[in-house]
Amino acid sequence: MIIAGNWKMNTLPNEAEELVRNILQGLQDKKFDSEIVVCPPFTNLHTVSALITGSKIKLGAQNCYYEPKGAFTGEISIPMLKYFDVEYIIIGHSERRTYFGETDEIINRKARAILEKNLKPIICIGETLSERQQGKTFEILFNQLEKCLCDLKVDDSKNLVIAYEPVWAIGTGVSATKEQIEEAHNKIKNHIQSMFGIAHDDIVLQYGGSVTSDNSEEILSIESVNGALIGGASLKSDVFLKIIEIAEKTIKN
Ligand code: PGA
């Protein structure tokens, strides 16, 4: 179970510090088997990295560029992130696809570069509302998977995390239903299985989109759900801690 908080473009350093201190305090002396990841904005990686050193919380970034260095003004490379002990990198988030023109081909280049450096990409896929209404959900998802995972090797799947995030569920307060998540997750896992020949149990598939402490029990209990990518609710330490507590109860064997 991987519970990841995507802080998006939120928190100044003092706010990031307070948030992470509260999370650390809430987890203190607690035994937990879930992988807990926080993904602050780049400008707070340094602060958060220092605070979580020695704890079981892992650090994630919200984006990266695939070239290791050079004349790419405004971009952040994977070695730069690795320096701060980043382990996970979210790529292909729908906000990046929509506002910053990130294509499946770019996401694929990022995924390959991340895996090459032994870090873990969290690759987001998901359909828009109109695509769902037109009955195109699985055509879209399979196409995203094929392009984003193009040329990856079976071995790469060990470090791969996929997040199914229906675009219409992100930040709207309306999460996908249990049935919709079950259907999508099973089909996504079948598709990845057919691409790489790996078993469902070896595929890590998170759900994201309006996950809260109120709906996380139902969502995380679904057999094919291996974690959650949480936006808004990860900015409140008490809510995030509650979701972690629920995740622990729903861990599958
Ligand atoms: P949300 O965002 O939890 O605020 O819906 C999820 C995400 O964008 O990853």
pLDDT in tens, the chain (253 residues): 999 999 999 999 999 999 999 999 999 989 899 999 999 999 999 999 999 999 999 999 999 999 999 999 999 999 999 999 999 999 999 999 999 999 999 999 999 999 999 999 999 999 999 999 999 999 999 999 999 999 999 999 999 999 999 999 999 999 999 999 999 999 999 999 999 999 999 999 999 999 999 999 999 999 999 999 999 999 999 999 999 999 999 986 4
Residue 93 bears catalytic tag: yes
Determine the atom of ligand 1 nearest the C-alpha atom of 8.
8
Which protein residue's CA is at the shortest distance from atom 1 of ligand 1? 231
Q: Find the residues whose C-beta lies inside 6 A of ligand 1.
A: 6, 165, 170-171, 208-211, 229-233
Cα separation, 78 vs 82, in Å, equals 6
Domain positions in the chain are: 2-252
- Which residue among 170, 212, 235 has the greatest number of ligand 1 atoms within 8 angstroms of its CB, and so is best to mutate? 170
Residue 21: what residue type?
A: R
Which pLDDT score is estimated for 87? 98
Strands 161-164 and 227-230: unpaired
The catalytically annotated residue of 35, 93, 102, 185 is 93
Angle at 64 between CA 20 and CA 172, to 5 degrees: 60
Helix axis angle, 137-148 relative to 104-116, nearest 10°?
Answer: 40
How many angstroms separate the alpha carbon of residue 229 from the centre of ligand 1?
7
Residue 67 bears catalytic tag: no
Helix axis angle, 178-196 relative to 137-148, nearest 10°?
Answer: 40
Phi, psi dihedral angles at 214 (to 5 degrees):
-80, -35
How many angstroms separate the alpha carbon of residue 69 from the centre of ligand 1?
30
Architecture of the domain delimited by 2-252:
Alpha-Beta Barrel (3.20)
Determine the atom of ligand 1 nearest the C-alpha atom of 212.
3
For the chain, what is the radius of gyration of the CA atoms? 17
